[in-house]
Amino acid sequence: MLPENSMPSPLEDLDKIIVDEAMINERLIQLGEEINIAYEGKEVAVIAIINGAIIFVADLIRQLSIPIQLDCIRVSSYRDETTPVQAPEIIDSIRLNLEGVHVLLIDDILDTGNTLSRVSTIISNLNPASLKTCVLLDKHTKRSVDFDADFVGFQIPDEFVVGYGLDFAERYRQLPCIGILKPDLQNPPVWA
Ligand code: IMP
Ligand code: MG
């Protein structure tokens, strides 16, 4: 029995788990194979959109047998904790020279499409040899911009999800699964 004033485990804040750890691990292997085949004989620059893609990219690149370079682009997509902005802000940009390079851009989730379409345009302007995108989650939502990812982990319903890199106010990224927060926790303050 926990003392009354102790912090609950982040896992206890979930209403429902929609993608569990075993499903993620199985899909990581399959996605790794798809990417290895798509880029056979080539080197790829993997660009992670952070913070959200950190965990997914860390696990996915360890399934890759092709040579890769890794870099990150830091983007802020949220006006507050749950409302996406129309024009995501680039906070820290790519340092690798991507000219003539095969680029695989990876994000945690495709929602309105604003983030991936914005970052894709930035990368396309750097004249890569090719550009493909990969997301862990594809949310069934009304996109603001028409955008489809080349590699998708899971299709999910239009719900705000956390875990395995996805956050609510920078919390819950460490959860090994993906789930929906309890309704009373979906609006700030999460903890007073
Ligand atoms: P988009 O620009 O609307 O496609 O959203 C992409 C970004 O919004 C992602 O990089 C995520 O960081 C964030 N995001 C979208 N939906 C969710 C969610 O359900 N939970 C947590 N973050 C989300
Ligand atoms: Mg986020």
pLDDT, tens digit (0-9, with 9 covering 90-100), for 97-137: 999 999 999 999 999 999 999 999 999 999 999 999 999 99
Q: Report the number of distinct structural domains present in the chain.
A: 1
Q: How far is CA 102 from its chain centroid? A: 20
- Give domain status of residue 51, yes or no: yes
- On the question of pLDDT at 44 being above 80, the answer is yes
Q: How far apart are CA 146 and CA 27, in angstroms?
A: 25
Establish whether residue 133 lines the binding site of ligand 1, counting it when its CB lies within 6 angstroms of any ligand atom.
no
Q: In what order do the strands lie in the sheet with 178-181?
A: 14-19, 178-181, 161-162
Query: Domain containing 175 — which CATH number?
Result: 3.40.50.2020
The model's pLDDT over 133-166, given as tens digits with 9 standing for 90+, comes to 999 999 988 788 889 999 999 999 999 999 999 9
Structure token pair of residue 70 = 């890794």
Q: Domain range for residue 86? A: 4-185
Residue 191 forms part of a structural domain: no
E runs forming strands in 148-191: 151-156, 161-162, 178-181
Asked, for residue 91, whether it belongs to a domain, the answer is yes
H/E stretch holding 121 = helix 114-124
Q: Is residue 132 part of a domain?
A: yes
For residue 190, is it within any domain? no
Say if 125 falls within a structural domain: yes
Q: Which residues pair with 111 in a beta bridge?
A: none
Distance of CA 112 to the CA centre of its chain: 13
- Residue 120 CB neighbours (<10 A): 18
> Does a structural domain hold residue 70?
yes
The Å distance, Cα 54 to ligand 1 centre, comes to: 14
Answer yes or no: is the C-beta of 109 below 6 A from any ligand 1 atom.
yes
160 ligand 1 Cβ < 6 A: yes
Beta strands in 62-150 (DSSP E): 68-78, 84-92, 102-110, 130-139
